[in-house]
Copies of this chain bind each other. A is one copy, B any other.
Amino acid sequence: MKVGKHTYLADNNVYIASAYSLAGPYESKGTFREYFDTVMEDDEWKCKSHELTEIEMQRFTIGECLDRAKVNPMDCDLILGGDLLNQIVPTSFSARDFNTPFMGLYNACATFGEALSIGSCLIGGDFERVICCTSSHYATAERQYRYPLELGTQPTPESQWTVTGCGAVMLSKSKCDAPQIKGFTAGEVIDFGLCDANNMGGAMAPAAAKTIVNHFKDTGRSPDYYDLIITGDLGRFGRDTLHYLCKKEGYDIDNLNDCGSMIYSEKQKAGQGGSGAGCCSLVFCSYIYKKLQEGSLKKVLFVPTGAMLSRDSALQGESIPGIAHAVIIEKE
């Protein structure tokens, strides 16, 4: 059922039947270490390039997610997913190993939100089981977007640390004791003209604010309907900017947080916090999913955020448009 201009409430049950999280070594020293299903002992994971590592991360996580749900890949209808690398190679290449149809998505670090949104619509239709998966890897992202790690370039104070991690969920039509996707608010591309590729949080915060405010207007809900409103990877600076922007629109959100701001401990030198398409999927598939399962969270508005730049667009002096999709997740 469509409510307002941007929001769709699910008419059918869409169960998040299983979730699996794979964290990098640096992430395993952070806030959510006890929630991760598997931790990589190093950044290479026995692969000869970090790009191959990221392919293996996707393959492993999707496989474990299916295993946990006791579903054969052949009985899964579709893999929906993406990552940050050019032509989403990690996701596309990992999909070779499952005899399952594949549709690749790209909304930068908001891709997991896009996957859950589209996935929930498909489950509302004819699809029985859909995998949603996104990943990122610190070394592949740095090499592609910034500088090779070997250069030892210093980060700016506004910068964030790309999460090495992968999260996958299996959406299912079949009734089970699991959190459900109850709907979503689809995001527009919003560009406030920021050009600093080191300040992604600032570039994405206006898009997150627009989507969250649209969500409240469309549904008539106030922030306190949710136990937690959590964005993808704004970082601390971006999260504070988002709080300010929402307050200006009349929504003073107390229960607001951000996966990127939370994932690393205060002691870790990760700038404003984590980022990357794997940041919010890793936190969702570990901490948030387990909190929903055990009942300490009941209603979550999960808002993955993305900055739509490429290396070329940044070098050509273009600004950085942002996007965010808000997904309603509840456990009954």
- A residues apposed to B, CB below 8 Å: 1-2, 5-6, 8, 11, 49, 51-52, 74, 77-78, 82, 84-89, 92-93, 95-96, 98-108, 114, 117-118, 121-122, 124-128, 144, 186-191, 308-313, 316, 318, 321, 323, 325
Contact = CB atoms under 8 A, between A and B. Distances in A.
A51 B316 contact: yes
Contacts of A309: 87, 89
Given A87-B86, A312-B89, A107 B104 contact: yes
A100 B313 contact: no
A189 B312 contact: no
Contacts of A86: 86-87, 310-312
Contact of A106 (B74, B88, B98, B313): B88
A106 B118 contact: no
- Of the candidates A124, A189, A321, the one having the most CB atoms from chain B within 10 angstroms of its own CB is A189
A191 B103 contact: no
Contacts of A99: 188
Given A93-B318, A118-B118, 13 more contacts: A2-B127, A8-B125, A11-B126, A51-B312, A51-B313, A87-B310, A92-B321, A93-B313, A101-B187, A102-B107, A102-B188, A121-B121, A121-B122
A167 to B, nearest CB: 19
